Amino acid sequence: MKDKRGKSGNGGGTRPTISQVAEAAAVSRSTVSRVFSRPESISEPTILRVREVAAQLGYTPNHAARALSTGRHRNIALIVPDVANPFFPPIIAAAQEAAETQDYCVFLGSSGESAERELKLVERLSGQVEGMILVSSRLADEQILELHARQSLVLVNRDIERIPRVLIDSAAGTLEAVAHLAQLGHRQVAYISGPSGSWSNAQRQRAVRRGAARHKMSMRTIACQAASFEAGRECVEAILTMGTRAVIAFDDLVAQGVIAGLAGRKLSVPQDMSVIGCDDVLGAATIPPLTTVSNCSVDAGSVSYRLLMDKLESHVQSDVRYVMSTHLVVRDTTDSPSGRAAGK
């Protein structure tokens, strides 16, 4: 138990403790403690003196020790299915930034789309955080509920009653997308699905179906292996044999994959095929710029953080269900089914 942090030198400067500051400042440890946690109850002069001494000793409160005593860690955990998926980073950034302003730290977990890993992460983390934000959780409802019994939770893109959640309602935008296609003259549309456990995927698929019905279009679904560029590319085979001239993809990555696959077959977008993405993670950064269902996913990060804090502060809870709408952003990957051919 002695010499915990190695010698001096690098990588292990032994941090000064509250006692050392207290001694050096000739006050009690409590006083030092209060200077750093509730300064309003301490006289101006002593505050200054303690601060002075602390600074020159390089003292910094030990959050772990503090947590042990208060039960408040000032840490939160953020779990996502895959950090590398461009949909999540903006959310992560926003949440972390929001946390930072309140001096909270955030643990990041990436489950690799695996419910099992997600569960492990959650359990491992649960001891050192005050609450967690589960983004697009792949866990089963029951697992989440059980977790919720002993941990403050906020969900993103997962709709479970009694748990605060922020939902990115892609239905609205997806409906617009179908309408847009219909207006262009398309009579059929294909939805290229995403991860099976995904709430967003289910929601989008439903929306496409509903929209298609409303506009008397035929609708089919193509199962995509994963939410990736490669998977999208591999779908073109199926799309082509299906004979559709318009597809709505689970997300922008898949859409880009489809476009690339099409290009590989000398088919171009939007002349030969209209392609619509989802999430708008690529912005206009594609060529041609992708028509897509845009959302304010960044806000999902800050809002979910706020929700978590609200929950932590007020123990009385109403059933918060924060829905963020989406809308279609028409860029250059959609056209009428005849396309350029019409000009011939």
Report 40-59 residues binding its own copies (CB under 8 A): 58
**Binding residue (CB under 8 A) for its own copies from 148, 209, 210, 215:** 148
**CA–CA separation, 168 and 111 (whole Å):** 21
Residue 192 sits in the site that holds DNA (CB under 7 A): no
Q: Does 183 bind DNA (CB under 7 A)?
A: no
Can residue 138 be called a binding residue for its own copies (CB under 8 A)? no
The one segment of 42-50, 73-81, 91-99, 199-207 that binds DNA by CB under 7 A? 42-50
Binding partner of 153, given DNA, its own copies, none, CB within 5-8 angstroms per partner class:
its own copies
Among 28-36, 144-152, 171-179, 324-332, the segment contacting DNA (CB under 7 A): 28-36
Of residues 253 through 292, those in contact with its own copies by CB under 8 A are: 253, 256-257, 259-260, 263, 283-287, 289
Stretch that binds its own copies, among 18-26, 33-41, 65-73, 205-213 (CB under 8 A): 65-73
Quick check: 200 and 227 in contact, CB under 8 A?
no
| Of 11 and 45, CB closest to its own copies | 11
Choose the one of its own copies, DNA, none that binds residue 260, judging by a C-beta under 5 to 8 angstroms depending on kind.
Answer: its own copies
CA dihedral 168→169→173→176, nearest 10 degrees, is: 180
Interface with DNA, residue 8, by CB under 7 A: no
Pick from 186, 226, 184, 219: nearest CA to 205: 219
Examine residue 86 and tell whether it contacts DNA (CB under 7 A).
no
Angle subtended at Cα 11 by Cα 8 and Cα 13, rounded to the nearest 5 degrees: 40
Cis peptide, bond prior to residue 288, ω within 30 of zero: yes
Out of its own copies, DNA, none, what residue 285 binds, judged by CB under 5 to 8 A for its kind, is its own copies
Rule CB under 8 A: say whether 152 interacts with its own copies: yes
By CB under 7 A, residue 74 contacts DNA: no
What's the closest the beta carbon of residue 305 comes to DNA, in angstroms? 23
CB 221 within 8 A of CB 190: yes
Question: Strands of 327-329's sheet, edge to edge?
Answer: 218-222, 188-192, 246-249, 274-279, 291-294, 327-329
CA distance 129 to 108: 11
Considering only residues 90-119, where is the footprint of its own copies by CB under 8 A? Answer: 90, 92-93, 96-97, 100, 103, 105-110, 112, 117
Show Cβ contacts of residue 96 under 8 Å, excluding neighbours closer than 6 positions. 78, 106, 301
Check residue 340 for interaction with its own copies (CB under 8 A). no
- The answer to the question of residue 17 lying near DNA (CB under 7 A) is yes
How far apart CA 193 and CA 224 sit, in angstroms, is: 6
SS3 317: coil
Kindly report the three-state secondary structure assignment for every residue of 30-66.
Answer: HHHHHHHHCHHHCCHHHHHHHHHHHHHHCCCCCHHHH
